[in-house]
Structure 1
Amino acid sequence: MGIRDIIEGKKQWRAHLARVKALPPDYQIVYKEMQRYFFKVGPVELTDGSLLSGILDFFEEGVAAGKGVLELIGDDVAAFADDLIKDSRTFADIYQESTSGKPGTAEK
């Protein structure tokens, strides 16, 4: 990864954050909590940026339709977030596989 890639990544992240700040306050709160959860849980797909961008696109469509965030995702935000990554591998899964000595993984 070169310096240009880092700079471009920062530009994209700042543009993403500007889109988040343009959401209504209730959407921002839910988005930030989901983001914090995903950063903590660490789904592997998070690194390519499509998960958070997809959520943001979904939220922007909800705002355009005039719906409240809980009307859009339901009352249980945690269940909604878990459902988005239920079939995703997490970094914790990869670590557990590497330490368990399963075939095809490095033993520690």
Structure 2
Amino acid sequence: MSDVKKSGFISKVIGPKKRWRAYKARVKKLPESYRTTVEVIERHLMHFVPTDSDSNASMFEDLADLFEQAAADGTSIREIVGQDPAEFVETFAQNYSEGGYVPARARKRLTDDIERAASEGTGKEDKTVR
């Protein structure tokens, strides 16, 4: 892929580089469990939610806003994402796109990754048998 095509693709996925860098700097400042959760959600959104670059930039900035406020207020990750993290992410993404197909395997991975991040924040391991 040429550099021109690659940079166009990257801009389409993440939006303007300056906004992306500012977003990533904000996420980096979050407490570890919140940061991990945002990164898991981000990965999921990038793979499964088709949007334009402006919508993506706004979506990620709003995601950072949400988790910055939650961290400041002491709101737990579980209180943010609820019992079904995949449903939370899909509902969150619907504000920015028409949505997309999310395979069951991806939903499970998202849920498992957020479960691990949420338990890191509390020091409790999830012992649920699935």
**TM-score, normalised on structure 1?**
0.66
Report the AA paired with residue 83 of structure 1.
T
Deviation at 1:85, TM superposition (A): 2.4
Deviation at 1:89, TM superposition (A): 1.9
User: Corresponding residue for 2:80?
Assistant: 72
Report the AA paired with residue 55 of structure 1.
L
Counterpart contact for 2:82–2:88, Cα < 8 Å: yes
User: Corresponding residue for 2:47?
Assistant: 40
Higher mean displacement: 61-70 or 10-19: 10-19
Deviation at 1:42, TM superposition (A): 2.9
RMSD: 2.2
| Structure 1 unaligned residues grouped into runs of 5+ | 1-5, 93-108
Counterpart contact for 1:35–1:52, Cα < 8 Å: yes
2:58 equivalent to 1:56: no
3-state SS in 2 of match to 1:44: coil
Q: Distance in 1 between matches of 2:50 and 2:17?
A: 21
Report the AA paired with residue 98 of structure 2.
R
Deviation at 1:90, TM superposition (A): 4.6
Q: Which runs of 4+ in 1 moved over 6 A?
A: none
2:17 equivalent to 1:19: no
Q: Percent identity?
A: 32
2:94 equivalent to 1:89: no
User: Corresponding residue for 1:3?
Assistant: none
| Structure 2 unaligned residues grouped into runs of 5+ | 1-10, 102-130
3-state SS in 2 of match to 1:23: coil
Report the AA paired with residue 76 of structure 1.
D
Number of residues of Structure 1 aligned to a counterpart in Structure 2: 84
